[in-house]
Amino acid sequence: MGDEHREIVENFWNAPIDFDDPRIAKNSSPFLVMLDTPMSKIHFLFTMLNINMLLVLKKGVIKGMITKLEFI
């Protein structure tokens, strides 16, 4: 990866997010799972609750996100 590309990526991830921006969709009640949650439980949540996204936590800190499309 070139220096210019690396700088673009770093700027993207370090840019602040304006959560007051009305164009940003916010989920006020996201579904959360722990990092060590079994895939069978994740499958159950997507299937039975018909949700589209789960946030993944480790020690109370968001570490990632799993979408239904990525899971499939």
pTM of the model: 0.62
Question: Can you tell me whether residue 69 is helix, strand or coil?
Answer: helix
Q: Each residue of 7-33: pLDDT tens digit? A: 998 988 898 888 888 888 877 788 999
d(CA 4, CA 19): 28
Helices (H), 1-72: 3-14, 39-48, 68-71
**Residue range 47-62: average pLDDT?**
93
